[in-house]
Chain A
Amino acid sequence: MTCTETEILLHALLDGELDAGHAREVEAHMADCPHCAVQMRAFRELQQAMPAAQLRFTAPASLRRRIEKAFPAAPQRASSRRSVLKGFVMGTALSTAMAASLVVAVFRTDQDQRVLGDIVSAHVRSLQANHLTDVQTSDQHMVKPWFNGKLDIAPPVVDLTAKGFMLLGGRLDYIDGQAVASIVYRRRQHVINLFVTQGAASESHAAQLQTMQGYNIRRWAAQGLEFFAISDINGEELQEFVEKFDAALHPPKGV
């Protein structure tokens, strides 16, 4: 590998965008080339000196109102299901509006749509409300017991960090008025919420892909539990997650 190639590819390495093969080549080159090694350090230093959080802007409230006003007003028949939502209304005008719209959606759609809509809303909420996990640990043996006594199911928790899906922790959430377990994983910058609820004992079906509001959802049932994996990663990667999760739950016999 030449210095010219390295000077560009080191940025991909810095951004975690390089596959293992190329990463090894770049690192091998830098081990022999002080010039490129210095470049790498210089740009890492620059990246670390740029705290993204402080460089963001916050949209003015007046702009938020102008945009909200442009949407058709939501009908006012939300109150009777409000208690269901009490647990996760976050207090901001935004989440209140979202909760109200969710309530209306709950009334209008059939069971499946309602559950999927809840899944999407719970996922979005978990991302925006700084409440991704109630128990934050990458140790599966701490996440699983945490759910004890909080739910009438024992959700399976497996650590898939070695398989490219990092276990972040667990959270209690509400889907269709029912407390459910959410096990949270991360793939690069993408969060995957795996919701586990009680299903029909006999039911078992393979994963189906659905898309709602741009989120991919994989839904499957096994051993009396129903699983919903939702994320903004692409459908294939989400399927990969489902397969790795399943494989970790049911390791091949004799291994």
Chain B
Amino acid sequence: MLDQLQRQGPALSWKTGNDTMEGNGSDPHQDKARRFRDAALPYLDDVYTLARYLLRNTGDAEDAVQECYLRALRHFDTFRGPAIKPWLFAILRNVCRGEFARRSGGLHYIDQYVDGEADKDEDAVRPLWQESQLSPETEVLHQRDAQTIRRLVAELPDQFREAIVLREINDLSYREIADVVGVPVGTVMSRLARARSMLRKAWIAEEEPAT
């Protein structure tokens, strides 16, 4: 059953297409900029949130978001839907993986996690995580404040952090996550399973706050 789900490739529908709906305005560039602004600016907080989690640094996140919006405006002609939020996320992700990884010496957001065959072997085919056998009967999940949860999420390895942020915080469907990340839906599911398992373990291992 898992094989079936994994076989569905990512469908990058917005990358195809060549024409765009232009208004009848006299200046197509301004018209395009306006349509883009109306469509994309409402998602600024979402894009910024993803950038903060991917880059774990306020300044880098702001620069990446700005670059993302500039690129998105340039390529708005080729945007074919269905939803603009995942499209913006995909662009942001490329920005983060490219320039900002290089600038920071590749420390923050590393390509090797997400490229090629190694990836498939890593988390799609391997049956289950070894590091995270739960024994939930004896473990209690205490409430944590938002700051602590943010830190625990930020400490997850890149591909798992990305999956859980897109799902839990940015509220994307598996299909949308698969399109943004460029992996099959089955891989999204197994990454989420591992991400939650790792997060739960770190959550429980976290020291109780001093009261």
Residues of A whose CB lies within 8 Å of any CB of B are 1, 4-5, 7-9, 11-12, 15, 17, 22, 38-39, 41-43, 45-47, 49-52, 54-60, 63-64, 66-68, 70-72, 74-75, 94, 97-98, 101-102, 104-105, 108-110, 113, 117, 120-121, 124, 127-128, 188-189, 211-216, 232-235
Contact = CB atoms under 8 A, between A and B. Distances in A.
Interface string B26-55: 100111011111110110111111001000
B136 A42 contact: yes
Interface in B128-146: 128, 134, 136-137, 139, 141, 143-144, 146
Interface residues of B, number: 67
25 contacts: A4-B127, A12-B189, A17-B189, A38-B134, A39-B134, A49-B144, A50-B149, A50-B168, A52-B168, A52-B169, A55-B169, A63-B65, A64-B41, A67-B66, A71-B37, A72-B30, A75-B30, A98-B38, A98-B41, A101-B37, A108-B23, A189-B173, A212-B21, A213-B36, A234-B82
A63 to B, nearest CB: 5
Contacts of A50: 149, 168-169
- Identify whether the interface residues of B are mostly helix, strand, loop, or mixed: helix
Nearest to B190: A8
A67 B36 CA distance: 12
A189 B171 contact: yes
Given A59-B44, A72-B30, A108-B25, A232 B81 contact: yes
Contact of A11 (B30, B47, B189): B189
A46 B141 CA distance: 7
Contact of B41 (A4, A67, A113, A121): A67
